[in-house]
Amino acid sequence: MKKIVLIATMALCNWLNPVRAQVAADYKVAPNDILIIDVFGEKDLSRQVTVSASGRINMFLLDEVEVAGKTTTEIKELLTKLLDKDFLVDPQVAVEVKEYRIREVFVNGMVNKPGSITLTGEQSLSILGALARAGGLTPRANEKKIKFTRPGVMEKTFSMEELKRETDGSKIITLQPGDIIEVADKLI
């Protein structure tokens, strides 16, 4: 029985890992993320670093390196190039995100649990997903007035029906830190 459970668990992990790896591969590093940099055979260069508020990391021999807005693959390629240029012969570099910065979206108004929702770097969340995490709509919610705001970029009002009906992945809004969802009161 233990063997069957172990095999089933391994199969599930193998099925989920490509999805997780794809999301992680697309993730752009941001300030306050914690990275693990591993330079094979170079103990002094391998370390855990926190991305500064200016989007840089400090690396022995290289000083400050701009990493914000880059994927881990792009950072790996950049560090490999910089180390290969003046310091090492064919360096083997690995980069992974150990801890993502705290990222929040806000859901306010006529939901059961208004407030902030924390996102991890590997997680993508839609407006519907955020509403569900906020406990769903209250009986007083106006299902035709769900206002989405991405400060300084866009503001749009949806109905619950529109949000549920949309199945085209390219049209579903993936929330970003700082986004605001406001559910109106049907009495107003």
Question: What pLDDT does 157 receive?
Answer: 96
Render pLDDT for 103-132 as a digit per residue (tens, 0 to 9): 789 999 999 999 999 886 666 899 999 999
C-beta separation of 79 from 59 below 8 A: yes
At residue 25, the pLDDT reads: 60
- The span from the CA of 4 to the CA of 40, in Å, is 37
Q: Are 181 and 108 in contact (CB under 8 A)?
A: yes
Distant-in-sequence contacts of 73-81, Cβ < 8 A, 24+ apart: 73/25, 75/29, 75/35, 79/37, 79/39
3-state SS, residue 148: strand
- pLDDT, position 116: 92
- Please name which of 37, 123, 31 lies closest in space to residue 72, comparing C-alpha atoms: 37
Predicted confidence band of residue 65 (pLDDT cuts 50, 70, 90)? very high
Structural contact between residues 125 and 103, judged by C-beta atoms closer than 8 angstroms: no
Q: pTM here?
A: 0.53
Write out pLDDT tens, residues 23-49.
Answer: 456 778 888 889 999 999 999 889 999
Q: Is residue 39 exposed (0-12), middle (13-18) or buried (19+ Cβ within 10 Å)? A: buried
